[in-house]
Amino acid sequence: MSAAPPLAGRHALVTGAGSGIGAAIAARLAADGAAVTLAGRRLDRLDATRRTLANAELHGAVTMDVTDQDSVAAGVRAAEAARGPLAILVCNAGAAPSAPFARVSLADWNATLAVNLTGAFLCAQAALPGMAARRDGRVVMLASTAGLTGYPYVAAYVAAKHGVVGLTRALATEFAKTGVTVNAVCPGYTDTPLLEGAVDAIVAKTSRSPDEARAALARANPQGRLVTPEEVADAVAWLCSPGAASINGQAIAVAGGEVMTG
């Protein structure tokens, strides 16, 4: 008899799950046996992604604006009513607008922190009390190498992702004795729709073509390539696995060696 999948019987909620890294994470967790709730703002996109997952009938989708506390609370309630208590939360929703610092408006600053940092806070606050009461759970925050170092023209994003890493470490310490772990995954430049914003910024500021801009971003990785969404999903899945029970409070770079932490 073959062994059960490592996440069989586990309910995972993934925000920003309609495309890119979020969709790859949802696919990997589903392949590992989890029942997945895909969360985001566009139900049609979420449901289209859900239909591509292994055992699609086991999974579901909820609309959720991670910047709105009531929306997050309602989404978590709906997910748990449909598929049981959350065992895994992946805070993936994010945005990375680009502009010279002098042109960053207060509204842009607040919006970037809201989706990247406040969104992670609200989702964690909705899910963690139940996990702690059950003495079981995994929370994975999608930060970025921008949470470990600095990049020009994305000051608000860098600040927000540094905040996500700090939030991860604070929660990991606070909940360490409850059986819940909290970790961050920090991708480098990854081949997703979000990358196109960085490509557009390079094209707008230089005479490079889009292909040349993508090549320049790939060169930031010592391996000379863009990270794939599936590689990020692999790291998330490992942190959610039984074998990662002692991994807590870590910010793991998936970037080919672009950022070294110790």
Domain CATH code at residue 124 = 3.40.50.720
Q: 119: domain range?
A: 11-188+228-249
How are strands ordered across the β-sheet holding 180-187?
Answer: 60-63, 35-40, 11-15, 88-91, 137-142, 180-187, 251-254
Q: SS3 helix, strand, coil % of the chain, rounded to 5?
A: 50, 15, 35
| 51 & 63 share domain | yes
- Mean pLDDT, range 183-199, rounded to an integer: 83
Identify the three-state secondary structure at position 51. Answer: coil
Q: Is the pLDDT of residue 195 over 80?
A: no
- Mean pLDDT, range 82-109, rounded to an integer: 96
| 94 & 216 share domain | no
Instruction: Give residues with Cβ within 8 angstroms of 130, minimum separation 6.
Output: 80, 85, 86, 137
At 122, is the pLDDT very low, low, confident or very high (cuts 50, 70, 90)?
Answer: very high
Q: Is residue 258 part of a domain?
A: no
- Mean pLDDT, range 23-48, rounded to an integer: 97
Mean pLDDT of the chain: 94
- Mean pLDDT, range 86-90, rounded to an integer: 98
| 148 & 197 share domain | no
Instruction: Give the tokens for residue 165.
Output: 């890493």
Q: CA-to-CA distance for 247 and 7, rounded, in angstroms? A: 17
Beta bridge partners of 251: 184
- Mean pLDDT, range 104-121, rounded to an integer: 98
pLDDT of 261: 60
**Whether the Cβ atoms of residue 141 and residue 94 lie closer than 8 Å to each other:** no
| 244 & 121 share domain | yes
Could you give the number of structural domains in the chain?
2
Q: CA-to-CA distance for 15 and 25, rounded, in angstroms? A: 10
What is the radius of gyration, based on Cα positions, of the chain? 18
Catalytic positions, please? 157
